[in-house]
Chains A and B, each alone.
Chain A
Amino acid sequence: MSLTPADTPQPTAISVRRKIPLSLIVGGLIVGLHLLAGILTILWTPYEPTAMVGGRLAEPSIAHWAGTDRLGRDLFTQILIGARIALEVGSGAVLVGAGIGITLGTLAAFATRTLDDVFAAAFDILIAFPTLLVAMLIVTASQTASLFTAVLAIGIAGSAIIARLTRILVKRVLSMDYIVAARVAGSSWPSIVFVHVLPNIWPTLIVNLALQFGLAAMAESSLSYLGLGAPPPNASWGRLLQEAQGTVYTAPFGAIAPGLALVTLVIGMNLLADGLRAFADPTRRRSR
Protein backbone atom coordinates (compact mmCIF):
# COMPACT_ATOMS: atom_id res chain seq x y z
CA MET A 1 0.00 0.00 0.00
CA SER A 2 1.51 3.28 -1.02
CA LEU A 3 -0.94 6.04 -0.34
CA THR A 4 1.67 8.41 1.02
CA PRO A 5 2.57 11.63 -0.79
CA ALA A 6 6.16 10.52 -1.32
CA ASP A 7 5.75 7.60 -3.64
CA THR A 8 2.86 8.51 -5.91
CA PRO A 9 3.60 8.39 -9.64
CA GLN A 10 4.50 11.48 -11.60
CA PRO A 11 1.76 13.04 -13.72
CA THR A 12 1.43 11.62 -17.19
CA ALA A 13 2.88 13.41 -20.21
CA ILE A 14 -0.54 14.45 -21.48
CA SER A 15 -1.56 16.17 -18.28
CA VAL A 16 1.72 18.09 -18.05
CA ARG A 17 1.75 19.46 -21.57
CA ARG A 18 -1.22 21.73 -21.06
CA LYS A 19 -1.77 24.51 -23.51
CA ILE A 20 -1.14 27.90 -22.01
CA PRO A 21 -3.72 30.31 -23.47
CA LEU A 22 -2.31 32.80 -25.99
CA SER A 23 -4.02 35.66 -24.17
CA LEU A 24 -2.11 34.74 -21.03
CA ILE A 25 1.20 34.87 -22.90
CA VAL A 26 0.51 38.12 -24.76
CA GLY A 27 -1.07 39.78 -21.71
CA GLY A 28 1.80 38.59 -19.54
CA LEU A 29 4.34 40.01 -21.99
CA ILE A 30 2.66 43.42 -22.20
CA VAL A 31 2.20 43.73 -18.46
CA GLY A 32 5.70 42.34 -17.94
CA LEU A 33 7.15 45.09 -20.15
CA HIS A 34 5.34 47.76 -18.19
CA LEU A 35 6.54 46.17 -14.98
CA LEU A 36 10.13 46.12 -16.21
CA ALA A 37 9.88 49.76 -17.26
CA GLY A 38 8.45 50.70 -13.89
CA ILE A 39 11.12 48.84 -11.94
CA LEU A 40 13.86 50.25 -14.19
CA THR A 41 12.94 53.83 -13.24
CA ILE A 42 13.75 53.10 -9.61
CA LEU A 43 17.37 52.50 -10.66
CA TRP A 44 17.83 54.46 -13.83
CA THR A 45 16.07 56.81 -16.23
CA PRO A 46 17.32 57.96 -19.67
CA TYR A 47 17.33 61.59 -18.46
CA GLU A 48 16.74 63.43 -15.24
CA PRO A 49 12.91 63.52 -15.25
CA THR A 50 12.59 67.19 -14.29
CA ALA A 51 15.62 68.47 -16.19
CA MET A 52 15.18 70.51 -19.34
CA VAL A 53 17.28 68.44 -21.67
CA GLY A 54 16.06 69.32 -25.15
CA GLY A 55 14.21 71.89 -27.18
CA ARG A 56 10.58 72.58 -26.36
CA LEU A 57 8.03 70.22 -27.91
CA ALA A 58 10.67 68.42 -29.92
CA GLU A 59 9.62 65.64 -32.28
CA PRO A 60 10.58 62.07 -31.39
CA SER A 61 14.22 61.44 -32.25
CA ILE A 62 17.08 59.10 -31.43
CA ALA A 63 17.94 61.25 -28.41
CA HIS A 64 14.32 61.65 -27.26
CA TRP A 65 12.28 58.58 -28.26
CA ALA A 66 8.95 60.21 -27.41
CA GLY A 67 10.00 63.82 -27.99
CA THR A 68 10.00 66.51 -25.32
CA ASP A 69 7.30 68.49 -23.53
CA ARG A 70 6.60 72.23 -23.29
CA LEU A 71 9.48 72.67 -20.88
CA GLY A 72 11.92 70.59 -22.91
CA ARG A 73 11.81 67.59 -20.56
CA ASP A 74 12.27 64.10 -22.02
CA LEU A 75 8.83 62.51 -22.48
CA PHE A 76 10.04 58.92 -22.71
CA THR A 77 11.58 59.26 -19.25
CA GLN A 78 8.28 60.56 -17.90
CA ILE A 79 6.31 57.78 -19.56
CA LEU A 80 8.58 55.18 -17.96
CA ILE A 81 8.00 56.79 -14.59
CA GLY A 82 4.29 56.90 -15.43
CA ALA A 83 4.34 53.11 -15.79
CA ARG A 84 5.71 52.86 -12.27
CA ILE A 85 3.01 55.14 -10.91
CA ALA A 86 0.25 53.31 -12.78
CA LEU A 87 1.47 49.98 -11.45
CA GLU A 88 1.94 51.31 -7.91
CA VAL A 89 -1.53 52.79 -7.81
CA GLY A 90 -3.03 49.80 -9.63
CA SER A 91 -1.57 47.21 -7.27
CA GLY A 92 -2.15 49.37 -4.20
CA ALA A 93 -5.77 50.00 -5.16
CA VAL A 94 -6.39 46.33 -5.95
CA LEU A 95 -4.86 45.36 -2.58
CA VAL A 96 -7.07 47.86 -0.75
CA GLY A 97 -10.13 46.90 -2.81
CA ALA A 98 -9.52 43.17 -2.40
CA GLY A 99 -8.87 43.54 1.34
CA ILE A 100 -12.12 45.42 1.92
CA GLY A 101 -14.14 43.61 -0.73
CA ILE A 102 -13.20 40.04 0.14
CA THR A 103 -13.69 40.68 3.86
CA LEU A 104 -17.10 42.35 3.47
CA GLY A 105 -18.26 39.87 0.83
CA THR A 106 -17.32 36.89 3.00
CA LEU A 107 -18.96 38.44 6.08
CA ALA A 108 -22.14 39.08 4.07
CA ALA A 109 -22.22 35.48 2.86
CA PHE A 110 -22.00 34.26 6.46
CA ALA A 111 -24.44 36.83 7.87
CA THR A 112 -28.07 36.18 8.77
CA ARG A 113 -30.67 36.54 6.01
CA THR A 114 -31.63 40.14 6.84
CA LEU A 115 -28.08 41.35 7.35
CA ASP A 116 -27.02 39.64 4.12
CA ASP A 117 -29.84 41.40 2.25
CA VAL A 118 -28.65 44.74 3.66
CA PHE A 119 -25.08 43.99 2.54
CA ALA A 120 -26.24 42.92 -0.92
CA ALA A 121 -28.30 46.07 -1.38
CA ALA A 122 -25.43 48.25 -0.17
CA PHE A 123 -23.03 46.62 -2.66
CA ASP A 124 -25.51 47.12 -5.50
CA ILE A 125 -26.04 50.79 -4.65
CA LEU A 126 -22.31 51.45 -4.41
CA ILE A 127 -21.69 49.71 -7.72
CA ALA A 128 -24.31 51.92 -9.38
CA PHE A 129 -22.01 54.93 -8.83
CA PRO A 130 -19.17 55.19 -11.36
CA THR A 131 -15.88 54.19 -9.73
CA LEU A 132 -14.22 57.40 -10.87
CA LEU A 133 -16.96 59.56 -9.36
CA VAL A 134 -16.64 57.80 -6.00
CA ALA A 135 -12.84 58.10 -6.15
CA MET A 136 -13.15 61.82 -6.97
CA LEU A 137 -15.50 62.35 -4.03
CA ILE A 138 -13.13 60.57 -1.67
CA VAL A 139 -10.10 62.55 -2.88
CA THR A 140 -12.06 65.81 -2.65
CA ALA A 141 -13.33 64.95 0.82
CA SER A 142 -9.83 64.11 2.04
CA GLN A 143 -8.60 67.46 0.63
CA THR A 144 -5.24 66.05 -0.32
CA ALA A 145 -4.20 64.93 -3.75
CA SER A 146 -1.40 62.42 -3.36
CA LEU A 147 -0.39 59.00 -4.55
CA PHE A 148 -1.64 57.60 -1.27
CA THR A 149 -5.11 59.15 -1.44
CA ALA A 150 -5.39 58.03 -5.06
CA VAL A 151 -4.64 54.45 -3.99
CA LEU A 152 -7.15 54.58 -1.13
CA ALA A 153 -9.86 56.30 -3.16
CA ILE A 154 -9.62 53.99 -6.17
CA GLY A 155 -9.34 50.95 -3.91
CA ILE A 156 -12.37 51.86 -1.83
CA ALA A 157 -14.36 52.83 -4.92
CA GLY A 158 -13.63 49.46 -6.55
CA SER A 159 -14.18 47.36 -3.42
CA ALA A 160 -17.97 47.10 -3.86
CA ILE A 161 -17.58 45.14 -7.09
CA ILE A 162 -15.17 42.73 -5.42
CA ALA A 163 -17.44 42.47 -2.37
CA ARG A 164 -20.48 41.63 -4.47
CA LEU A 165 -18.60 39.00 -6.45
CA THR A 166 -17.05 37.51 -3.31
CA ARG A 167 -20.44 37.29 -1.62
CA ILE A 168 -21.95 35.38 -4.53
CA LEU A 169 -18.94 33.07 -4.86
CA VAL A 170 -18.76 32.32 -1.13
CA LYS A 171 -22.49 31.60 -0.97
CA ARG A 172 -22.18 29.17 -3.84
CA VAL A 173 -19.33 27.31 -2.14
CA LEU A 174 -21.15 27.29 1.22
CA SER A 175 -24.09 25.50 -0.41
CA MET A 176 -21.90 22.57 -1.42
CA ASP A 177 -21.98 19.27 0.46
CA TYR A 178 -18.23 19.36 1.04
CA ILE A 179 -18.85 22.21 3.47
CA VAL A 180 -21.33 20.04 5.39
CA ALA A 181 -18.78 17.23 5.22
CA ALA A 182 -16.11 19.55 6.62
CA ARG A 183 -18.37 20.50 9.53
CA VAL A 184 -19.12 16.85 10.21
CA ALA A 185 -15.37 16.17 10.05
CA GLY A 186 -15.00 18.71 12.87
CA SER A 187 -13.50 21.64 10.96
CA SER A 188 -14.07 25.07 12.48
CA TRP A 189 -15.60 27.88 10.42
CA PRO A 190 -12.32 29.80 10.11
CA SER A 191 -10.53 26.71 8.84
CA ILE A 192 -13.43 26.02 6.44
CA VAL A 193 -12.99 29.54 5.04
CA PHE A 194 -9.26 29.11 4.52
CA VAL A 195 -9.18 25.46 3.47
CA HIS A 196 -12.33 25.21 1.36
CA VAL A 197 -13.91 28.58 0.60
CA LEU A 198 -10.98 30.78 -0.41
CA PRO A 199 -9.21 28.18 -2.58
CA ASN A 200 -12.47 27.57 -4.45
CA ILE A 201 -13.35 31.21 -5.07
CA TRP A 202 -9.76 32.30 -5.73
CA PRO A 203 -9.54 31.39 -9.46
CA THR A 204 -12.63 33.45 -10.32
CA LEU A 205 -11.59 36.21 -7.97
CA ILE A 206 -8.07 36.57 -9.37
CA VAL A 207 -9.43 37.04 -12.87
CA ASN A 208 -11.58 39.88 -11.65
CA LEU A 209 -8.74 41.38 -9.65
CA ALA A 210 -6.69 41.52 -12.87
CA LEU A 211 -9.57 43.36 -14.55
CA GLN A 212 -9.80 45.67 -11.55
CA PHE A 213 -6.10 46.36 -11.88
CA GLY A 214 -6.59 47.65 -15.41
CA LEU A 215 -9.54 49.76 -14.30
CA ALA A 216 -7.53 51.13 -11.38
CA ALA A 217 -4.66 52.15 -13.67
CA MET A 218 -7.20 53.93 -15.87
CA ALA A 219 -8.83 55.59 -12.85
CA GLU A 220 -5.42 56.79 -11.69
CA SER A 221 -4.79 58.44 -15.04
CA SER A 222 -8.25 59.98 -14.98
CA LEU A 223 -7.72 61.39 -11.49
CA SER A 224 -4.34 62.80 -12.50
CA TYR A 225 -5.85 64.24 -15.66
CA LEU A 226 -8.35 66.05 -13.47
CA GLY A 227 -5.59 67.21 -11.15
CA LEU A 228 -6.79 64.92 -8.33
CA GLY A 229 -4.03 62.34 -8.60
CA ALA A 230 -0.42 62.41 -7.60
CA PRO A 231 0.75 66.04 -7.78
CA PRO A 232 3.69 67.15 -9.96
CA PRO A 233 6.50 66.28 -10.35
CA ASN A 234 4.99 62.75 -10.35
CA ALA A 235 4.82 61.97 -14.04
CA SER A 236 1.47 60.20 -14.18
CA TRP A 237 0.22 59.40 -17.67
CA GLY A 238 -2.98 61.26 -16.89
CA ARG A 239 -1.04 64.42 -16.09
CA LEU A 240 1.07 64.03 -19.24
CA LEU A 241 -2.13 63.77 -21.27
CA GLN A 242 -3.53 66.82 -19.57
CA GLU A 243 -0.37 68.84 -20.21
CA ALA A 244 -0.28 67.74 -23.85
CA GLN A 245 -3.87 68.79 -24.36
CA GLY A 246 -3.10 72.40 -25.21
CA THR A 247 -0.60 71.48 -27.90
CA VAL A 248 -2.30 68.37 -29.21
CA TYR A 249 -2.50 69.76 -32.79
CA THR A 250 1.00 71.13 -33.00
CA ALA A 251 2.74 68.34 -31.05
CA PRO A 252 0.40 65.30 -31.07
CA PHE A 253 3.07 62.91 -29.87
CA GLY A 254 2.89 64.37 -26.37
CA ALA A 255 -0.63 62.93 -26.11
CA ILE A 256 -0.17 59.83 -28.27
CA ALA A 257 2.75 58.37 -26.30
CA PRO A 258 1.22 58.39 -22.79
CA GLY A 259 -2.16 57.44 -24.27
CA LEU A 260 -0.59 54.43 -25.94
CA ALA A 261 1.15 53.46 -22.71
CA LEU A 262 -2.14 53.55 -20.79
CA VAL A 263 -4.14 51.71 -23.43
CA THR A 264 -1.58 48.92 -23.77
CA LEU A 265 -1.42 48.41 -20.01
CA VAL A 266 -5.22 48.14 -19.76
CA ILE A 267 -5.38 45.81 -22.77
CA GLY A 268 -2.52 43.74 -21.32
CA MET A 269 -4.35 43.42 -17.99
CA ASN A 270 -7.57 42.40 -19.73
CA LEU A 271 -5.74 39.78 -21.80
CA LEU A 272 -4.07 38.51 -18.66
CA ALA A 273 -7.46 38.25 -16.92
CA ASP A 274 -8.88 36.42 -19.90
CA GLY A 275 -5.95 34.01 -20.01
CA LEU A 276 -6.19 33.38 -16.27
CA ARG A 277 -9.89 32.61 -16.64
CA ALA A 278 -9.14 29.86 -19.13
CA PHE A 279 -6.25 28.63 -17.02
CA ALA A 280 -8.17 28.59 -13.75
CA ASP A 281 -10.96 26.30 -14.93
CA PRO A 282 -10.84 23.53 -12.29
CA THR A 283 -11.78 20.75 -14.70
CA ARG A 284 -8.80 21.66 -16.88
CA ARG A 285 -6.49 21.69 -13.94
CA ARG A 286 -3.61 19.33 -14.40
CA SER A 287 -3.22 16.47 -12.01
CA ARG A 288 -0.36 16.55 -9.63
Chain B
Amino acid sequence: MSFIQVENLSFRYDQTRTIIEDLSLSLEKGRNLGIVGESGSGKTTLLRLLLGLAQPSAGSISIDGQVLDTKNWQFMRDFRRRVQAVFQDPYSSLDPRQAIFDIVAEPLRALKIDVDVAKAVAEAATAVGLPADAAQRYPHEFSGGQRQRIAIARAIVARPDLVLADEVVSALDLSTRILIVDLLKALSTSVTFVVVSHDIALVALLCPDIAIMEKGRIVESGPTEHVLSNPVHPYTRRLLASTPRLP
Protein backbone atom coordinates (compact mmCIF):
# COMPACT_ATOMS: atom_id res chain seq x y z
CA MET B 1 0.00 0.00 0.00
CA SER B 2 1.41 3.33 -1.08
CA PHE B 3 1.45 6.33 1.20
CA ILE B 4 -0.45 8.43 -1.33
CA GLN B 5 -2.50 6.70 -3.99
CA VAL B 6 -4.22 8.70 -6.73
CA GLU B 7 -6.62 6.73 -8.87
CA ASN B 8 -8.25 7.80 -12.13
CA LEU B 9 -8.52 11.39 -11.00
CA SER B 10 -10.40 13.85 -13.20
CA PHE B 11 -11.20 17.48 -12.70
CA ARG B 12 -12.88 20.26 -14.65
CA TYR B 13 -13.78 23.82 -13.75
CA ASP B 14 -16.58 23.82 -16.31
CA GLN B 15 -18.05 21.49 -18.90
CA THR B 16 -15.92 22.78 -21.77
CA ARG B 17 -12.48 21.56 -20.75
CA THR B 18 -11.03 18.83 -18.56
CA ILE B 19 -8.01 20.10 -16.62
CA ILE B 20 -7.02 16.79 -14.99
CA GLU B 21 -7.90 13.69 -16.94
CA ASP B 22 -7.90 10.13 -15.62
CA LEU B 23 -4.68 10.67 -13.70
CA SER B 24 -3.16 7.99 -11.49
CA LEU B 25 0.00 8.08 -9.45
CA SER B 26 1.42 6.74 -6.23
CA LEU B 27 3.92 8.02 -3.76
CA GLU B 28 6.06 6.32 -1.15
CA LYS B 29 7.11 7.89 2.10
CA GLY B 30 10.74 8.98 2.00
CA ARG B 31 10.94 9.18 -1.80
CA ASN B 32 10.46 12.68 -3.19
CA LEU B 33 8.34 12.83 -6.32
CA GLY B 34 8.84 15.46 -8.98
CA ILE B 35 5.97 16.47 -11.22
CA VAL B 36 7.13 18.26 -14.33
CA GLY B 37 5.07 19.88 -17.02
CA GLU B 38 4.73 23.05 -19.00
CA SER B 39 2.84 26.00 -17.65
CA GLY B 40 -0.88 25.31 -17.91
CA SER B 41 -0.50 21.52 -17.85
CA GLY B 42 -2.54 21.34 -14.65
CA LYS B 43 0.14 20.95 -11.98
CA THR B 44 -1.28 23.52 -9.57
CA THR B 45 -4.76 22.12 -10.07
CA LEU B 46 -3.46 18.64 -9.22
CA LEU B 47 -1.93 19.99 -6.01
CA ARG B 48 -5.20 21.72 -5.09
CA LEU B 49 -6.93 18.37 -5.46
CA LEU B 50 -4.23 16.63 -3.41
CA LEU B 51 -4.70 19.25 -0.69
CA GLY B 52 -8.46 18.79 -0.63
CA LEU B 53 -9.00 22.39 -1.74
CA ALA B 54 -10.96 21.32 -4.80
CA GLN B 55 -13.27 18.38 -5.39
CA PRO B 56 -12.41 15.90 -8.14
CA SER B 57 -15.08 15.25 -10.77
CA ALA B 58 -14.08 11.59 -10.71
CA GLY B 59 -11.52 9.29 -9.14
CA SER B 60 -10.04 9.27 -5.65
CA ILE B 61 -7.06 10.21 -3.55
CA SER B 62 -6.07 8.10 -0.56
CA ILE B 63 -3.52 8.50 2.18
CA ASP B 64 -2.37 5.34 3.94
CA GLY B 65 -5.36 3.57 2.39
CA GLN B 66 -7.88 6.11 3.68
CA VAL B 67 -9.81 8.04 1.05
CA LEU B 68 -9.44 11.82 1.21
CA ASP B 69 -12.86 13.00 2.34
CA THR B 70 -13.05 16.79 2.75
CA LYS B 71 -16.41 16.51 4.51
CA ASN B 72 -15.04 14.32 7.26
CA TRP B 73 -13.92 16.89 9.81
CA GLN B 74 -11.94 14.48 11.96
CA PHE B 75 -10.18 12.95 9.00
CA MET B 76 -9.31 16.39 7.60
CA ARG B 77 -7.76 17.51 10.87
CA ASP B 78 -5.38 14.57 10.76
CA PHE B 79 -4.87 15.02 7.02
CA ARG B 80 -3.93 18.72 7.42
CA ARG B 81 -1.40 17.76 10.05
CA ARG B 82 0.19 15.22 7.73
CA VAL B 83 0.06 17.10 4.43
CA GLN B 84 1.30 20.66 4.11
CA ALA B 85 2.25 22.94 1.22
CA VAL B 86 4.54 25.72 0.05
CA PHE B 87 3.37 28.05 -2.70
CA GLN B 88 4.90 29.75 -5.66
CA ASP B 89 4.62 33.42 -4.70
CA PRO B 90 6.39 34.18 -1.42
CA TYR B 91 4.81 37.65 -1.40
CA SER B 92 1.20 36.59 -1.63
CA SER B 93 1.60 33.53 0.59
CA LEU B 94 2.49 35.42 3.81
CA ASP B 95 -0.09 37.61 5.55
CA PRO B 96 1.50 41.10 5.63
CA ARG B 97 -0.19 41.89 8.95
CA GLN B 98 1.08 38.86 10.82
CA ALA B 99 4.38 38.63 12.63
CA ILE B 100 6.61 35.77 11.46
CA PHE B 101 6.01 33.94 14.73
CA ASP B 102 2.25 33.89 14.14
CA ILE B 103 2.67 32.89 10.50
CA VAL B 104 4.83 29.91 11.35
CA ALA B 105 2.67 28.96 14.35
CA GLU B 106 -0.56 28.92 12.33
CA PRO B 107 -0.76 25.13 11.69
CA LEU B 108 -0.01 24.39 15.35
CA ARG B 109 -2.74 26.74 16.55
CA ALA B 110 -5.30 25.91 13.87
CA LEU B 111 -4.94 22.18 14.40
CA LYS B 112 -4.59 22.59 18.18
CA ILE B 113 -1.49 20.46 18.17
CA ASP B 114 -0.39 19.78 21.70
CA VAL B 115 3.17 21.09 21.66
CA ASP B 116 5.13 23.98 23.09
CA VAL B 117 4.31 26.44 20.28
CA ALA B 118 7.27 28.76 20.94
CA LYS B 119 9.69 25.85 20.96
CA ALA B 120 8.27 24.24 17.82
CA VAL B 121 8.32 27.56 15.94
CA ALA B 122 11.90 28.18 17.04
CA GLU B 123 12.93 24.73 15.84
CA ALA B 124 11.25 25.17 12.48
CA ALA B 125 12.85 28.60 12.06
CA THR B 126 16.26 27.16 12.84
CA ALA B 127 15.72 24.28 10.46
CA VAL B 128 15.06 26.64 7.55
CA GLY B 129 17.90 29.00 8.52
CA LEU B 130 15.94 32.08 9.54
CA PRO B 131 17.77 34.72 11.57
CA ALA B 132 17.18 34.50 15.31
CA ASP B 133 15.40 37.85 15.49
CA ALA B 134 12.89 36.98 12.76
CA ALA B 135 9.99 35.99 15.01
CA GLN B 136 8.59 39.39 15.84
CA ARG B 137 9.27 40.96 12.47
CA TYR B 138 6.85 41.30 9.57
CA PRO B 139 6.99 39.79 6.06
CA HIS B 140 7.78 43.08 4.29
CA GLU B 141 11.11 43.21 6.08
CA PHE B 142 12.29 40.04 4.33
CA SER B 143 13.59 39.23 0.85
CA GLY B 144 11.87 36.75 -1.45
CA GLY B 145 14.23 33.94 -0.51
CA GLN B 146 13.76 34.53 3.21
CA ARG B 147 10.01 34.74 2.76
CA GLN B 148 10.12 31.36 1.08
CA ARG B 149 12.08 30.06 4.09
CA ILE B 150 9.30 31.39 6.33
CA ALA B 151 6.72 29.60 4.18
CA ILE B 152 8.75 26.39 4.41
CA ALA B 153 9.01 26.78 8.20
CA ARG B 154 5.21 27.05 8.35
CA ALA B 155 4.91 23.90 6.22
CA ILE B 156 7.20 21.79 8.42
CA VAL B 157 6.33 23.14 11.87
CA ALA B 158 3.63 20.52 12.52
CA ARG B 159 6.08 17.79 11.41
CA PRO B 160 4.02 16.60 8.44
CA ASP B 161 4.78 13.47 6.41
CA LEU B 162 4.34 15.21 3.09
CA VAL B 163 4.95 18.74 1.79
CA LEU B 164 3.64 19.75 -1.61
CA ALA B 165 5.93 22.39 -3.12
CA ASP B 166 4.44 24.29 -6.07
CA GLU B 167 7.10 26.09 -8.14
CA VAL B 168 8.69 27.23 -4.90
CA VAL B 169 11.82 28.69 -6.47
CA SER B 170 10.52 30.09 -9.73
CA ALA B 171 9.91 33.54 -8.23
CA LEU B 172 13.47 33.72 -6.88
CA ASP B 173 16.76 34.79 -8.45
CA LEU B 174 19.31 32.17 -9.37
CA SER B 175 21.62 32.35 -6.35
CA THR B 176 18.66 32.26 -3.96
CA ARG B 177 17.22 29.30 -5.87
CA ILE B 178 20.32 27.24 -5.18
CA LEU B 179 20.09 27.99 -1.46
CA ILE B 180 16.42 27.01 -1.29
CA VAL B 181 17.05 23.83 -3.27
CA ASP B 182 19.83 22.97 -0.82
CA LEU B 183 17.42 23.58 2.04
CA LEU B 184 14.75 21.33 0.53
CA LYS B 185 17.37 18.65 -0.02
CA ALA B 186 18.47 18.88 3.62
CA LEU B 187 14.87 18.73 4.85
CA SER B 188 14.18 15.67 2.65
CA THR B 189 15.70 13.45 5.30
CA SER B 190 12.74 14.08 7.60
CA VAL B 191 9.86 14.93 5.27
CA THR B 192 8.76 13.77 1.83
CA PHE B 193 8.31 16.41 -0.86
CA VAL B 194 6.24 16.51 -3.99
CA VAL B 195 8.18 19.02 -6.05
CA VAL B 196 6.10 20.55 -8.80
CA SER B 197 7.92 22.53 -11.44
CA HIS B 198 8.27 23.33 -15.09
CA ASP B 199 12.02 22.99 -14.50
CA ILE B 200 13.17 19.45 -15.08
CA ALA B 201 16.71 20.17 -13.79
CA LEU B 202 15.42 21.36 -10.43
CA VAL B 203 13.28 18.27 -10.01
CA ALA B 204 16.20 16.04 -10.96
CA LEU B 205 18.22 17.51 -8.11
CA LEU B 206 15.60 16.75 -5.48
CA CYS B 207 13.54 13.78 -6.57
CA PRO B 208 14.44 10.12 -7.14
CA ASP B 209 11.07 9.68 -8.89
CA ILE B 210 9.55 11.80 -11.60
CA ALA B 211 6.24 12.11 -13.39
CA ILE B 212 5.88 14.05 -16.63
CA MET B 213 2.57 15.84 -17.02
CA GLU B 214 1.01 17.05 -20.24
CA LYS B 215 -2.47 18.52 -20.58
CA GLY B 216 -3.73 17.04 -17.32
CA ARG B 217 -2.30 13.55 -17.87
CA ILE B 218 0.83 11.78 -16.71
CA VAL B 219 2.53 10.77 -19.94
CA GLU B 220 5.62 9.17 -18.44
CA SER B 221 6.86 8.32 -14.97
CA GLY B 222 9.46 6.33 -13.10
CA PRO B 223 12.86 6.72 -11.47
CA THR B 224 14.25 10.13 -12.48
CA GLU B 225 17.57 8.75 -13.68
CA HIS B 226 15.81 6.26 -15.88
CA VAL B 227 13.29 8.70 -17.36
CA LEU B 228 15.91 11.35 -18.09
CA SER B 229 18.45 9.03 -19.66
CA ASN B 230 15.90 7.14 -21.67
CA PRO B 231 12.88 9.33 -22.38
CA VAL B 232 10.19 7.45 -24.25
CA HIS B 233 7.41 9.97 -24.72
CA PRO B 234 7.96 12.72 -27.31
CA TYR B 235 6.75 15.34 -24.82
CA THR B 236 9.46 14.32 -22.34
CA ARG B 237 12.06 14.56 -25.09
CA ARG B 238 10.82 18.00 -25.98
CA LEU B 239 10.95 19.13 -22.34
CA LEU B 240 14.48 17.75 -22.00
CA ALA B 241 15.62 19.43 -25.18
CA SER B 242 14.39 22.78 -23.91
CA THR B 243 16.15 22.41 -20.55
CA PRO B 244 19.77 23.48 -20.17
CA ARG B 245 21.89 20.49 -19.15
CA LEU B 246 23.22 20.42 -15.63
CA PRO B 247 26.99 20.38 -15.33
Residues of chain A whose beta carbon lies under 8 Å from any beta carbon of chain B: 1-5, 8-9, 176-178, 180-188, 191, 195-196, 199-200, 282-283, 285, 287-288
**Once the chains bind, are A177 and B135 in contact (CB under 8 Å)?**
no
Residues of A contacting B94 with CB < 8 Å?
178, 181
Known A-B contacts A177-B87, A186-B80, A282-B97; the reply to A4 vs B118 at CB < 8 A is yes
Known A-B contacts A5-B118, A180-B87, A282-B96; the reply to A185 vs B106 at CB < 8 A is yes
Known A-B contacts A1-B126, A3-B121, A184-B51; the reply to A282 vs B95 at CB < 8 A is no
Q: Does B196 contact A (CB under 8 A)?
A: no
**11 additional A-B residue pairs with CB within 8 Å, beyond A3-B121, A181-B93:** A177-B89, A181-B94, A182-B106, A183-B53, A185-B111, A185-B154, A283-B140, A285-B140, A287-B138, A288-B137, A288-B138
**Once the chains bind, are A196 and B135 in contact (CB under 8 Å)?**
no
Q: How far is the CB of B3 from chain A (nearest CB, A)?
A: 18
A186-B130 Cα distance, complex, nearest whole Å: 24
Q: Which residue of B lies closest to A8 (CB)?
A: B136
Query: Across the A-B interface, how many residue pairs have beta carbons closer than 8 Å?
Result: 106
Residues of B contacting A183 with CB < 8 Å?
53
**Once the chains bind, are B133 and A9 in contact (CB under 8 Å)?**
yes
Q: How far is the CB of A281 from chain B (nearest CB, A)?
A: 11
Q: Indicate the member of B53, B99, B110, B118 with the most A CB atoms within 10 Å.
A: B110
Interchain CB contact (< 8 A) of A200 among B97, B121, B137: B97
| Per-position 1/0 for B150-167, Cβ under 8 A of A | 010010000000000000
**Once the chains bind, are A185 and B96 in contact (CB under 8 Å)?**
no
Q: Which residue of B lies closest to A178 (CB)?
A: B95
Residues of B contacting A186 with CB < 8 Å?
76-77, 80-81, 107, 110-111
A9-B141 Cα distance, complex, nearest whole Å: 15
| Per-position 1/0 for B107-121, Cβ under 8 A of A | 100110000001001
Residues of A contacting B126 with CB < 8 Å?
1, 3
Q: Lowest 7 CB-CB distances: which A-B pairs, in order? A: A186-B80, A3-B122, A177-B93, A186-B110, A177-B92, A185-B107, A187-B110
A5-B134 Cα distance, complex, nearest whole Å: 10
Residues of A contacting B97 with CB < 8 Å?
196, 199-200, 282
Residues of B contacting A182 with CB < 8 Å?
95, 106, 110
Q: Does B192 contact A (CB under 8 A)?
A: no
**Once the chains bind, are B101 and A3 in contact (CB under 8 Å)?**
yes
Known A-B contacts A178-B92, A182-B110, A185-B154; the reply to A3 vs B80 at CB < 8 A is no
Residues of chain B whose beta carbon lies under 8 Å from any beta carbon of chain A: 51, 53, 76-77, 80-81, 83-85, 87-89, 92-99, 101, 106-107, 110-111, 118, 121-123, 125-126, 130, 132-138, 140-141, 151, 154
Residues of B contacting A9 with CB < 8 Å?
133
29 pairs, A vs B, C-beta closer than 8 Å: A1-B126, A3-B101, A3-B118, A3-B134, A177-B93, A178-B93, A178-B94, A180-B53, A180-B85, A180-B87, A181-B85, A181-B106, A182-B106, A182-B110, A184-B51, A184-B80, A185-B106, A185-B110, A185-B111, A186-B80, A186-B110, A187-B106, A187-B110, A195-B98, A196-B97, A200-B96, A200-B97, A287-B137, A288-B138
Residues of B contacting A282 with CB < 8 Å?
96-97, 140
**Once the chains bind, are B110 and A188 in contact (CB under 8 Å)?**
yes
A202-B53 Cα distance, complex, nearest whole Å: 27
Residues of A contacting B81 with CB < 8 Å?
186
Q: How far is the CB of A15 from chain B (nearest CB, A)?
A: 9
Residues of B contacting A185 with CB < 8 Å?
80, 84, 106-107, 110-111, 154
**Once the chains bind, are A1 and B92 in contact (CB under 8 Å)?**
no
Residues of B contacting A288 with CB < 8 Å?
99, 136-138
**Once the chains bind, are B101 and A5 in contact (CB under 8 Å)?**
yes
**Once the chains bind, are A1 and B132 in contact (CB under 8 Å)?**
yes
Q: Indicate the member of B77, B92, B141, B151 with the most A CB atoms within 10 Å.
A: B92
A9-B134 Cα distance, complex, nearest whole Å: 10
Residues of A contacting B77 with CB < 8 Å?
186
Q: Which residue of B lies closest to A288 (CB)?
A: B136
Residues of A contacting B53 with CB < 8 Å?
180, 183-184
**Once the chains bind, are A5 and B135 in contact (CB under 8 Å)?**
yes
Residues of A contacting B95 with CB < 8 Å?
176, 178, 182, 195-196, 199-200
Q: Which residue of B lies closest to A192 (CB)?
A: B110
Residues of A contacting B87 with CB < 8 Å?
177, 180-181
Q: How far is the CB of B136 from chain A (nearest CB, A)?
A: 4
Q: How far is the CB of B123 from chain A (nearest CB, A)?
A: 8
Q: How far is the CB of B18 from chain A (nearest CB, A)?
A: 21
Q: Which residue of A lies closest to B91 (CB)?
A: A177
**Once the chains bind, are A181 and B154 in contact (CB under 8 Å)?**
yes
Interchain CB contact (< 8 A) of B133 among A8, A191, A195, A199: A8
Residues of B contacting A176 with CB < 8 Å?
92-93, 95
Residues of B contacting A8 with CB < 8 Å?
133, 135-137
A95-B92 Cα distance, complex, nearest whole Å: 32
Residues of B contacting A195 with CB < 8 Å?
95, 98
